[in-house]
Structure 1
Amino acid sequence: MATTTVSDRQAGWRTPFVIVVCGCLIGLLSFGPRSVVGMFLMPISVENGWTRDVLSLTIAIQNLMWGVGQPFAGAIADRFGTLKVFWAGTIMYAAGLACMALPLPPLAMHVLSGSLVGLGLAGVSFNLVLACFTKLLPEAKRPMALGLGTAASSFGQFVFAPLTPFLIDLLGWQGALLVFSAVVGLIFPLSLALATNPKAGIGTGTGTEASVVATMKAALGHRSYVYLVLGFFTCGFQLAFITTHYPPYLADLKMPAWVAGLALAFIGLFNIVGSLSAGWLSGRMSKRWLLVWIYFARGAVVVMLLVLPPSPALALAFAAMMGLLWLSTVPPTSGLVALMFGTRYMAMLYGFVFFSHQVGGFLGVWLGGVLYERTGSYDIVWWLSVLFCVGSALINIPIKEEPVRRPDLVPAE
């Protein structure tokens, strides 16, 4: 079977090391600003005289549009190469962050910032980076590279979480957003290392290449893939809800502002360990069972937060434990997609899985704001996340870890 990894089609400076380093830096720069949007919820709402559900809807739309755009960004990258997608995504992401700093009415904020940030993230986030890793790196290097790419995104949260309150104090929240907009521009040069050949990942097999439509139809008709898509909903629900509403949740408990900043930093720091461990384990144990235990553990950690007496120590302990589980679902999930369908349409197929993740993210952020305004508490959403964790754990159990057997879908490795 023919391969198109970096070992036989890359030359000069684009070595596997350079590809992984540049991809990790892109993940850091793209995920960092997105991970701290919760810190802007209160200052923007107070400045504009909004209740929490207004900006929550903008952030929810960002998550949804990220999910909607990801399969299309993946399909375009698979068809025409990744470079154009990275550059278009960088422009939209930077513009969307800048729009958040403008004195816009709610509808304009929803449309401009919600759409631009979301679609921009679809073109520059770690999802596309991981798809590039599966195409450009030899199979033996992929599991750890996927873990490194995911961990680097978490390191972005670790860096931006303490940096954000400092910049807000120094420059104001508008100035902080404009700095983030400028920093995103660094993705332009870094993306050169991840440029892919549109035909990368095509295997020889029967000599035919599955079309985009045939591939997507086969995937949606494959029960294990559908289970994977549905299970990933919970990951997005929890991550987006916690990222956006955990800082104000802690503020409601009368905790100092530094607790929220340190908590988000803890999530990012401990997620580095969790993501690397998940990447390592994905190459050595059943990926579906790894996902099962991760989802069960997530639910248990949330229950711990809700039943124990609140304190700064508990807030930070929760952040550390949730950090270990934060993006640890990504390496086994992306690994299962590559195992089932190969690498040819990896960006598109994983993009569709991620769409489910972002539908969950939209609901997590939006319901958090709406239910808080109606009940004065986040408790309903916390317990919903526990319920979803149990459901995702159970739905991953029947997944079959094997390639799809079709003459027109030949997994390329």
Structure 2
Amino acid sequence: MTQSHDPRIVAAPRNPWIVLICAAMLVTIAMGIRQSFGLFLRPIEQDIGLGREAFGLAVAVQNLILGLAQPFVGAMADKHGAGRVAAAGGALYALGLALASMISGAVGLNLTLGLLVGFAMTGVTFVVAIGAAIRAVPPQKRGLAAGIVTAGGSVGQFLLVPVAQGLIGAFGWRETFLIYAGLAGVMVLLAIGVAGRPAQPVTGHAGAQSFGEALREAAGHSGFWLLNAGFFVCGFHVAFIGTHLPAFLADKGLDPAIGARALALVGLFNILGSYVFGMSADRWRKKHVLSGIYLARGVVMALFLAFPITALSATLFACALGFLWLGTVPLTSGLVGQIFGVRYVSTLFGIVFLSHQLGSFFGAWGAGYAYSVTGSYDFAWQVSIVIAVLAALLHWPIKDAPLPRLQAAE
């Protein structure tokens, strides 16, 4: 397997374990809260009369803002360090959730859960956290580091989704938003653990690269655009299922607790999946593993729909999909670092993540729109299966060797 090397980067003087733990905990809280939003759909629908398309649009706006802002926030983390960016993100996340508890209509939901939370998440999720983590470890451990941080999101999903269901049932959705706003504030403290400016390239080396050169280099590489296309599919899957699976299962006559349990199981099994795929990023060709993940997703979805929807089938589906859920993140970020080096990894992965969030926009809003038009989620499921197969095909031809400037610097 081709390993990623960028010897021009001077190791940052931070304890790698502190960085890894704090980065993983940032993602644990940020993604754990985020993955619980689907549970708020029906209570908000019943309380203030917002339809599923309106709720789906708010989540779609959130994902779109997260994607559009991510390359710029990633560039800020590359220049000023992850700590400052994460602290600002945590504070804004808490504010967005607190204001979401006061909404009375679609406009308020879009401004709070959509705009504010979407922008806040740019500083406390994968791009910034993984960028800090992989800079703190040797090249041969970067895939594992990315996998550990990614697994943090799954731990959060496993822990915080059931808690959200219990809080909504006991206190209501408004009070739950307030409680989670307090939890989001903890991320401001965790940001201290990933603080510090990224190490700079050794001056005078022939392989030194400017920010603009990095962007032009990536834009001229076909593999960069194939990664963008594949991550669009990942975003569609994650947003569609994370936002609409509880409602889909409820439509099939299952207890709402089954939907919450399904999302929690997705998170639980992705802890294992993120770790396994993170290790695979250091052992096998990442593009081949990515192709396998997307193809397996399509198969799992097709099998789920081929049989009657029951509590058992929902559980099995959640476990299988959970194993595949975010395994794409350490592999995709690892490929970016492997091909282009890690100096501008947050910026370049931020651009790829923009594509992911464009997919998330269509997954969250498009599925809700399809439901409002057809009265079912059948079309959204069919699209999900087709694009899964397409993504499997797109990753295979990626040229994954480190660029000549990195090889020359060895």
Superposition deviation, residue 144 in structure 1: 1.4
Amino acid at match of 2:256: A
Q: Is 1:140 the equivalent of 2:140?
A: yes
CA contact (8 A) 2:270 2:322 kept: yes
Which structure 1 segments of 5+ residues have no match?
A: none
CA contact (8 A) 1:342 1:412 kept: no
1:361 alignment partner in structure 2: 360
Which structure 2 segments of 5+ residues have no match?
A: 1-6
Amino acid at match of 1:273: L
2:105 alignment partner in structure 1: 105
The alignment of Structure 1 onto Structure 2 pairs a total of residues equal to 404
SS of 1:309's equivalent in the other structure is coil
CA distance in 2, matches of 1:38, 1:279: 27
1:83 alignment partner in structure 2: 83
CA contact (8 A) 2:151 2:275 kept: yes
- Superposed, 1:40-79 pairs within 5 Å as 40-79=40-79
- Superposed, 1:156-305 pairs within 5 Å as 156-198=156-198, 200=199, 202-203=201-202, 206-207=205-206, 209-305=208-304
2:118 alignment partner in structure 1: 118
Cα deviation 1:234-269 (Å, max 9, x = unaligned) = 100000110000000000000012211111111000
Superposition deviation, residue 127 in structure 1: 2.4
Cα deviation 1:261-305 (Å, max 9, x = unaligned) = 111111000000100000111111110000000000000011011
SS of 1:229's equivalent in the other structure is helix
CA contact (8 A) 1:202 1:412 kept: no
1:36 alignment partner in structure 2: 36
Q: Is 1:5 the equivalent of 2:11?
A: yes
CA distance in 1, matches of 2:346, 2:235: 18
CA distance in 2, matches of 1:81, 1:23: 13
CA contact (8 A) 2:84 2:191 kept: no
1:150 alignment partner in structure 2: 150
2:3 alignment partner in structure 1: none
Q: Is 1:94 the equivalent of 2:94?
A: yes
Amino acid at match of 2:149: G
Distance 1:156 1:246, change over 3 A: same
1:16 alignment partner in structure 2: 16
Distance 1:37 1:117, change over 3 A: same
Superposition deviation, residue 113 in structure 1: 2.8
Distance 1:110 1:411, change over 3 A: farther
2:4 alignment partner in structure 1: none
Distance 1:301 1:314, change over 3 A: same
Amino acid at match of 2:380: V
Q: Is 1:325 the equivalent of 2:331?
A: no
Distance 1:346 1:410, change over 3 A: farther
CA contact (8 A) 1:70 1:354 kept: yes
Distance 1:411 1:275, change over 3 A: farther
CA distance in 2, matches of 1:203, 1:224: 27
Cα deviation 1:315-362 (Å, max 9, x = unaligned) = 010000000000011111111000111111010100111111000000
TM-score by length of 2: 0.95
CA distance in 2, matches of 1:205, 1:227: 33
CA contact (8 A) 1:35 1:243 kept: yes
Superposition deviation, residue 141 in structure 1: 2.5
Q: Percent same amino acid at aligned positions? A: 39
- Superposed, 1:333-348 pairs within 5 Å as 333-348=332-347
Q: CA RMSD in A?
A: 1.7
CA distance in 2, matches of 1:133, 1:174: 35
TM-score by length of 1: 0.94
Superposition deviation, residue 412 in structure 1: 8.2
- Structure 1 segments (4+ residues) deviating >6 Å: 409-413
CA distance in 2, matches of 1:218, 1:312: 49
CA distance in 2, matches of 1:18, 1:412: 29
Superposition deviation, residue 205 in structure 1: 7.3
Superposition deviation, residue 203 in structure 1: 4.9
CA contact (8 A) 1:157 1:264 kept: yes
SS of 1:124's equivalent in the other structure is coil
SS of 1:359's equivalent in the other structure is helix
